[in-house]
Amino acid sequence: MEQKIALIGFGTVGQGLVEILENKKSDLISNYGYNYSIVAISDIRFGTVYDPEGLDVTQLLAEISDTGSFQHNLTDWDALTLIKNCNADVVCELAFTDLETGEPAISHCMAAFESRKHIVTSNKGPAALAYKKMKDLADKYNVMFMIEGTVMSGTPVLNLTSGPLAGCRISSAKGILNGTTNYILSEMENGMEYKDALKKAQELGYAEADPTGDVEGYDARAKVTILANVVMGVPCLLNEVTCEGISAITAGDIQNARENNSRWKLIGNVEYIDGNLTASVKPEMIALTHPLAGIMGPTNAATFSTDLLGDITIVGAGAGKIETGFSILSDLLEIHRLS
Ligand SMILES: NC(=O)c1ccc[n+]([C@@H]2O[C@H](COP(=O)([O-])OP(=O)(O)OC[C@H]3O[C@@H](n4cnc5c(N)ncnc54)[C@H](OP(=O)(O)O)[C@@H]3O)[C@@H](O)[C@H]2O)c1
């Protein structure tokens, strides 16, 4: 059966997803029996479009490229009305992240669950601020809350622990969860001062004009909160994760680590031992022998300590149009498999 998809937010990730779906359409049908149609898109910038029979996304992409907005299939429904009234099976919430309130994404998710639609999202807001509420509501309506893209984009972290690692007890997760800060620290290893490395990260598009969310560790803190809730299965609030960023690291600190056969990394850490959860984000001097010490540039990585396999480290992209678009695809395929 064809999976009907609504997209809320049609920026980098939404367009990345559509690119993958279109390019792989025949492989997805022949390899996984997966067929889809995109029935609705709502984006503040481009407008809102709906066709219960399926939209022509190639035409819509051409329209926004030519005119900056959608031209056909327009509706004056707002995003919440669209979510409630459209005939989608799955709503992909791909609008902006607000780590203060989680809105409007939390309302989008709730409207989807209450109208018995699955949610797939790379937006950290709902999962970091209201994971239990979202999961309970999804369970109540017998739909899924899928969030693979919220931690390390398409690199499979959450699905790794719930899938291939199911049966292992995971006592800790320790990761480089923010590519911007890892890039800055890597450039400082190459001899740059912090402010120059930050400027270069901004020029390359790794850091935003206001880099606070990355360099002060807030983005990584949201991901640690998600890991605590999902991987450890322990309710954890964002403000229970202690947080320190990298903005105070100096060239002297870098040199000191080098002399001690170590490297500074911004480490997100969550441990659940003897019923006690501890969660933090802070710069740590990591011994060069540890698998996380070799992760340079904007790459992300996470090490899970398990009872049956020892330590498992996964390394991969933490952001990107196609990489994060893939995270959405992997969750859509999982919903298809389980439906
Ligand atoms: N890009 C990545 O590599 C990446 C990786 C992991 C997670 N994420 C997360 O995934 C989500 C999407 O990221 P993105 O990179 O695609 O962001 P983006 O390029 O900024 O696209 C978001 C789109 O949603 C629109 N929008 C904002 N508020 C909306 C609303 N209330 N209703 C409908 N549309 C709305 C935006 O319009 P305006 O631009 O006019 O505001 C924009 O067109 C974000 O939550 C982000 O944090 C992204």
Domains of the chain by start residue, with CATH:
3-154+321-338 (3.40.50.720), 161-316 (3.30.360.10)
Q: What is the pLDDT of residues 79-88, one digit of tens each?
A: 999 999 999 9
Closest to 152 measured CA to CA, from 299, 311, 334, 332: 299
Residue-wise pLDDT tens digits, 283-299: 999 999 999 999 999 99
Determine if ligand 1 sits within 6 Å of the CB of residue 43.
Answer: yes
pTM of the prediction? 0.97
Residue 165 phi/psi, 5-degree rounding, is -95, 5
**Residue 54: exposure state from Cβ atoms within 10 A (0-12, 13-18, ≥19):** middle
Going by alpha carbons, the residue nearest to atom 11 of ligand 1 is 94
12 lines ligand 1 (CB under 6 A): yes
| Residue 146 CB contacts under 8 Å (≥ 6 apart), including other chains | 118, 119, 120, 121, 331, 334, 335
Residue 1 pLDDT greater than 90, yes or no: no
pLDDT at 208: 93
Cβ of residue 327 lying under 6 Å from some atom of ligand 1: no
The phi-psi region of residue 302 (left if phi > 0; otherwise alpha if psi is between -120 and 50; otherwise beta) is beta
223 is catalytic: yes
250 C-alpha to center of ligand 1: Å?
Answer: 33
| Count of Cβ atoms closer than 10 Å to residue 225 Cβ | 28
Ligand 1 atom nearest the C-alpha of 12 is 16
Q: Which of 143, 142, 110, 144 is nearest to 126 (CA)?
A: 110
Which residue's CA lies nearest to atom 27 of ligand 1?
A: 95
Say how many C-beta atoms besides its own lie within 10 A of residue 190's C-beta: 9
Q: Find the catalytic residue in 117, 135, 223, 265.
A: 223
Please, what is the end-to-end C-alpha distance for the chain in angstroms?
A: 10
